[in-house]
Structure 1
Amino acid sequence: MKHLLLSVLAISSLSFGQITLTDQHFAGPSESYVFSTLTDPTIDYATTGANYIWDFSDLVPQDQRGLITRPSSQISGLSIIQFGSFAPAPYKATYFNSSTDLPLDQASGILPIPIEELNAFTKKTATAITSIGYEIVSNGQGIGFRSDTIETRYALPMTYGNNYESRGYTDLDLNPIYDAQWKQYRHRVTNVDGWGTVKTPFGTFQALRIHHVVDEFDSIYISFQGFGTWVPIPVPLAHEYEWRSTSDKEAVMRIRTSEIMGNETVTAVEYRDDFNGLGLTESKLAVSFYPNPVVNELHVSTPEMAENFVIVDQSGRVWKQVSGSSKDQVIDVSELASGSYSLVVLFSNGYTSVKFIK
């Protein structure tokens, strides 16, 4: 009986830390997240298993990046037809956000048109998180492209031992802007290869460890004076290791690597964090604003055009981000809860921060 009781207790203890991820544990529209980033070629991305403890608590951040998910109500231009409320069910976007999923740095040297921004569109259901297409912004105009084959980023519900694969194909035909095409093929293989406790400078989490392998082939067709050719864009085999918890809707830890000839090289390390202005230089540019306290609209005047306006609460959480469009900017704050906030104005050469009350 004693041995039986100990066995039951051991089994109960072993299963306590295992979690299951559902669609409620993934980002939705109008949400914002901050990640601290760093480079560390020696970080251990390979070790994993059941009831494992990953300790990344001694990481030292070097920079930060933000992620803001924009609701489908903010889709504009021709992209409304592709991903808005009248789109076919598989392509009705839950949200969209700025993306680096296409190798824009390489493509910009090939395409004769400027690409100012790339947005990716996501659909979230109870069974999957899918990538349904892109939007390229050129000369201020957004053009949407549905993925002919929809890639599943996460098959849900997700638990330890799950594995799946998915393919994505997108044909970005830039006509009539220019006689050019961009084709992207992706093959994703995902394995939930660990569960346990992950520690970061942001906190300690019960998490699943997820390993994605993405094999991508990109090519661009360029036509000039009646002659056209396909130009391949080399994309190394990519690995993404992420730790996801039920207490946060984004990965609490993520490591990316590129594989060449069987050898993986760490290309990015990031973890969920609060906003702290890391990597920014304080600017001497003065910013004026009114009213304070504010109810619905915050009027901001800057001596030169700002790149972005970021609203942060006292804990460092980013609540809103708006691209600069005028030296006299009007920011809608009607959805903010009552409290104290900081408005961080990002210029090309630094930032200015001011406090206001809602």
Structure 2
Amino acid sequence: MRPILTLVAVSCVTFLSAQITIGPADMPSAGDTVRYWNTSAIGIDPAPTEAGYVWDMGMLTPDVEAADTCISVNSTPFLYQFFFNNMILYPNWAANYAVRGQEFNFQMLTLTDVFDYFKKDATGFRNVGFGANVNGVPTSVRRMPVDHIHHFPMNYDNMDTSYSEFTVAVPTLFSFTQQQTRFNHVDGWGTLYLPADTFEVLRVRSVLQRSDSVYIEQFGQGFAFDEPETIEYKWIAVGMDEPVLQINSTGGQATTARFFYDPNDIILSVPTTQEVAFSAQPNPAQQSVSFSIPVITSGVLEFRDATGRLVGSMRIPSGSTTVRQDVSGFADGTYVATLISSSGSRSTRMIIQH
């Protein structure tokens, strides 16, 4: 269910970001489909954060469309379900749903038709294992112990550590083992602006350290190697199933991003002459800025500096098409102007240079 933004008026109009709490109801369930865009994150610094922060990610460009479809465990291949559909023998691995996973090839090992299995309850959200055709043989592979992706209830400044591992064996040939340690820190909360959506979020920074090892039975020996450290920056909103934004960083460099979208939100075509975009002119500005306002009933125009601090606001009367803001008292720098109304919010950047 998508969140609805409501404006409350008490003598004057204000808009305040509030800290949220995330629980199992905010994670996916069987039957859910989460749509998102994949794009490059090169050049983006995902690290800045704090309590009450504003992340402006409106610069993200939709690239490749994708979707995660969550299915019931019973809908996956029968032999995959061995660990994940048996509450009596394997209660810690009894999954709530499954989703298509990434296929994998390493030396003589091939994993195809992969499904990842997930379990959620009042204590947390876990990846309990996966099923795959391992060199053509249907196989159920559990994580022992399981990977605790999130602990619940999730609140600002929570920290936790989770160790997990799995082993895939090809009888008489070799086995492959991956060990993983996850370090989670809920290091921020605030407002996230995406190209077509705005969310109140918790920000989670997950550091993943993985080590892979291979044991060759024929020679009675094995070898191990560490993978590059991966950091997942995740922005999580109430009721949205998956992070509304996730940026992955490897070796200190942001590489990829995926962000939520509603097919009706992001318009890739050129607007017609009748449509009015929310924009600021002149830009850069010295003394005042004029804003072109789309058709709205009424709303609030907020101004925040690069740190997310609210530096000003003004009420927009119903039917307004242009408003002017005095910025002579604003310090030089980049600001985000956000138009908030009952139909949602829109943001644009403005630069002040005196």
Tell me, yes or no, whether TM beats 0.5.
yes
* Structure 1 equivalent of residue 254 of structure 2: 266
**1:22-79 CA distance string (max 9 Å, x none):** 1001111121111111113111201000111101112112212221112111132322
What's the C-alpha RMSD, in Å, of the aligned pairs?
Answer: 2.4
Residues 52 and 197, structure 1, Cα contact 8 Å, conserved in 2: yes
Change (3 A) 1:117 1:232: farther
Change (3 A) 1:42 1:95: same
Q: Does 1:256 align with 2:256?
A: no
Residues 202 and 272, structure 1, Cα contact 8 Å, conserved in 2: no
Instruction: Give 1:222 shift.
Output: 3.1
Q: Which residue identity lines up with residue 151 of structure 1 in the other structure?
A: D
Q: Does 1:232 align with 2:195?
A: no
| Pairing 1:164-313 to 2, within 5 Å after superposition | 164-175=160-171, 179-223=173-217, 226-259=218-251, 264-275=252-263
Q: Distance in 1 between matches of 2:221 and 2:114?
A: 24
Q: Which has the larger radius of gyration?
A: 2
TM-score by length of 2: 0.66
Q: Distance in 2 between matches of 1:252 and 1:168?
A: 25
Q: Distance in 2 between matches of 1:94 and 1:34?
A: 20
Instruction: Give 1:150 shift.
Output: 1.5
| Pairing 1:1-358 to 2, within 5 Å after superposition | 17-86=18-87, 87-100=89-102, 104-105=104-105, 107=106, 110-111=107-108, 113-138=109-134, 141-175=137-171, 179-223=173-217, 226-259=218-251, 264-275=252-263
Instruction: Give 1:247 shift.
Output: 3.8
Question: What SS does the aligned partner of 2:83 have?
Answer: helix
* Structure 2 equivalent of residue 309 of structure 1: none
Instruction: Give 1:228 shift.
Output: 4.3
Change (3 A) 1:254 1:31: same
* Structure 2 equivalent of residue 347 of structure 1: none
Q: Which residue identity lines up with residue 202 of structure 1 in the other structure?
A: A
Question: For structure 1, which runs of at least 5 residues remain unmatched after alignment?
Answer: 1-8, 279-358
Question: What SS does the aligned partner of 1:90 have?
Answer: helix
Residues 220 and 233, structure 1, Cα contact 8 Å, conserved in 2: no
Question: Across the two proteins, how many residue pairs are aligned to each other?
Answer: 252
Q: Distance in 1 between matches of 2:225 and 2:98?
A: 25
* Structure 1 equivalent of residue 294 of structure 2: none
* Structure 1 equivalent of residue 347 of structure 2: none
Change (3 A) 1:78 1:164: same
Q: Distance in 1 between matches of 2:235 and 2:174?
A: 39
**1:126-181 CA distance string (max 9 Å, x none):** 11111211212246542001222112110000011111111002122233xx6221
Higher-helix-fraction structure: 1
Q: Distance in 2 between matches of 1:258 and 1:33?
A: 25
Q: Distance in 2 between matches of 1:234 and 1:66?
A: 30
Q: Distance in 1 between matches of 2:239 and 2:127?
A: 23
Q: Distance in 2 between matches of 1:238 and 1:258?
A: 5
Q: Which residue identity lines up with residue 136 of structure 1 in the other structure?
A: A
% identical aligned pairs: 24
Question: What SS does the aligned partner of 1:29 have?
Answer: coil
Question: For structure 2, which runs of at least 5 residues remain unmatched after alignment?
Answer: 1-9, 267-354
Residues 167 and 178, structure 2, Cα contact 8 Å, conserved in 1: yes
